[in-house]
């Protein structure tokens, strides 16, 4: 593993994408705690009072009239327990639902869930005391300690402020009916949660930013890793050069194999050579069978001469055509006249040769 100091380059898009696919996403625990606190505030403000009143009414109805629900048999006891269990479930269900929704929102807002078995595979490094001590005493460990200390200070400060302002009210509540004490405690807890939520919003926002920065920092790359990734994405330059060389060699072989079918070769004595084919019955303009320069040009001339293909030396025409024609393509219109004259010369010469053979 490369040292953190050596990782000076930002993580590439590919590395970030691979990390997300492997389940390595920036995650803030404080954001989850913040949403859980918000859910608890909603519970205390809207759900708890009505739910507790309904639960208390159900329990009072059961115990106020014992004759209605006798406990003479096991079946009677089971019926009473079912009623009590149903009342308790109706009280707890909204609370559990809100907390579950808060947890799901906190997780989904920071990344879609992924099933990555590699994340749960046992790793020996997780059991190493030295590695654990390094995590605790490292920079991330101190940051977590600072966050926990900040949370403790926030909550302790708010509790101290609330209790200092409510000290006399708490003493007065000792002399009232117990039924009124519950609503008072609930109001105090609600105000405490509201104050903590406002303060915790700042901590959660800072932790979200820190989680993303830390995630990008952990995915930084060394320069060698960047080079290796570029090689994988674009291909090894040596392999690419070898493939290009092989492709050019195959192309030259195909050209040389086509030269014997050429009608003529136009050459600049040693630098350029273009092999053309024109057969009236095939239709169209002359087509380029091969072209090359230097050693390839000499090879084209040698193959053409070995197969009695006429070779015309025209420096200007050969040089101009080389830059404007492509193998297996028709020649451009601007060369029609010059090439037509050469083809006419070849055809006239062939006609004279044929007449001479006939007379002989």
Q: Please give the model's pTM, rounded to 2 decimal places.
A: 0.46
Rounded CA-CA distance 85/66 in Å is: 18
Rounded CA-CA distance 65/57 in Å is: 12
DSSP-derived letter for residue 263 is S
What's the confidence (pLDDT) of residue 1? 44
Average pLDDT score over the chain:
77
Q: Where are the domains of the chain?
A: 25-218, 250-359
Rounded CA-CA distance 105/290 in Å is: 68
Per-residue tokens: 204: 């959660």
Rounded CA-CA distance 91/232 in Å is: 59
Question: For 82-109, how does the pLDDT look when each residue is reduced to its tens digit (9 = 90+)?
Answer: 777 777 777 788 888 888 888 788 777 7
Q: Is 334 left (phi over 0), alpha (psi -120 to 50) or beta?
A: alpha
> Nearest 5°: phi and psi at 312?
-110, 130
Question: For 112-163, how does the pLDDT look when each residue is reduced to its tens digit (9 = 90+)?
Answer: 666 656 566 666 666 666 666 666 666 777 777 887 887 788 777 777 776 6
Fold classification of 250-359 is name from scop (3.40.1690)
Least confident interval from 26-30, 45-49, 259-263, 285-289: 45-49
Question: For 330-350, how does the pLDDT look when each residue is reduced to its tens digit (9 = 90+)?
Answer: 988 888 888 888 888 888 887
Sole residue written with tokens 């096991």: 74
Per-residue tokens: 96: 């559990």
């Amino acid at each position: 593993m490369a040292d953190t100091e050596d990782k000076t380059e930002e993580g590439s898009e590919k590395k970030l994408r691979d990390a997300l696919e492997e389940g390595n996403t920036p995650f803030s625990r404080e954001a989850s705690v913040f949403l859980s606190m918000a859910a608890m505030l909603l519970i205390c403000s809207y759900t708890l009072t009505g739910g507790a009143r309904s639960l208390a009414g159900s329990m009072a109805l059961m115990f106020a009239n014992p004759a209605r629900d006798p406990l003479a048999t096991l079946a009677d006891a089971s019926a009473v327990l079912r009623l009590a269990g149903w009342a308790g479930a109706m009280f707890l269900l909204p609370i559990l639902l809100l907390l579950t929704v808060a947890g799901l929102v906190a997780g989904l807002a920071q990344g879609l869930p992924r099933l990555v078995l590699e994340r749960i595979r046992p790793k020996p490094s997780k059991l190493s005391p030295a590695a654990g001590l390094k995590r605790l005493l490292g920079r991330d460990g101190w940051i977590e300690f600072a966050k926990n200390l900040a949370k403790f200070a926030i909550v302790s400060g708010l509790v101290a402020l609330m209790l200092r302002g409510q000290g006399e009210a708490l003493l007065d509540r000792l002399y009232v009916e117990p039924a009124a004490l519950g609503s008072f405690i609930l109001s105090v807890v609600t105000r405490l949660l509201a104050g903590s939520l406002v303060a915790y919003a700042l901590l959660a926002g800072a932790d979200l930013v820190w989680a993303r920065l830390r995630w990008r920092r952990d995915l930084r790359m060394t320069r060698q890793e960047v080079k290796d990734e570029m090689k994988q994405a674009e291909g090894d330059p040596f392999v690419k050069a070898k493939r290009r060389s092989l492709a050019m060699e195959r192309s030259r072989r195909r050209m040389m194999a086509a030269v014997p079918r050429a009608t003529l070769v136009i050459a600049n004595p040693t630098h350029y050579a273009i092999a053309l084919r024109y057969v009236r019955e095939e239709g169209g303009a002359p087509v380029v069978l091969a072209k090359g320069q230097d050693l390839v040009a000499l090879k084209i001339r040698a193959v053409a001469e070995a197969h009695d293909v006429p070779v015309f030396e025209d420096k200007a025409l050969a040089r101009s055509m080389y830059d404007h024609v492509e193998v297996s393509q028709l020649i451009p219109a601007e060369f029609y006249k010059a090439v037509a004259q050469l083809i006419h010369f070849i055809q006239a010469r062939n006609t004279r040769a044929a007449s001479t053979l006939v007379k002989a």
